[in-house]
Amino acid sequence: MKTSALAERLCVVDPASRIYPNSCFAAGDTTLAVVRVNGVKMLCEAAADADALSGNLAGELQKIGDDTVKLCPFTHANALALRELLPWTAPISLRDRKTTIGCGDRLGLAPPGHIRAARQFAVAPVLAQQSIRELTLTGR
């Protein structure tokens, strides 16, 4: 499913919904993307046939036109299921990489920019993981 088609379908659920185009990937007969619906970021899995949807992703199914959309919260269980669908999302060792660059960010807002910047060079970014204390302070 194309990004524009997915965006149109999500507008039925929430007219203010947003799809993050760079997060849109095909996985078999489904399309996966990060979306914002009703003010909440979540993983969206969409397919023409409900049987094509992953049984491992937990979320709310919605029939929109001829398609089925599953809106999945960001949970650890869904992260594990996503790693099965898109293996490149799993953490890996970077010890064999020639050049790595550490990226720090106390608030957790800069990693998308760090990734865009790193793509321009032959480097592997190491993205800082936020502490529970900082996530609690920022309400995330």
CA distance 108 to 26: 27
Do 89 and 82 contact (CB within 8 A), yes or no?
yes
- pLDDT tens for residues 79-112? 999 999 999 888 888 889 899 888 877 666 777 8
* Ranges 4-18, 28-42, 57-71, 117-131: which has the least confidence: 4-18
Q: Name residue 73's amino acid.
A: P
Tokens encoding 63: 């029939």
pTM of the model: 0.72
- Can you tell me the mean pLDDT for 64-77? 90
CA distance 125 to 81: 23
- pLDDT tens for residues 26-68? 888 888 999 998 889 999 998 888 888 988 999 999 888 788 8
* CA distance from start to end of the chain: 31
What's the confidence (pLDDT) of residue 73?
Answer: 96
What's the confidence (pLDDT) of residue 18?
Answer: 84
Asked if the model's pLDDT at residue 136 lies above 80, the reply is: no
Q: 123 versus 104: which is more confidently predicted?
A: 123
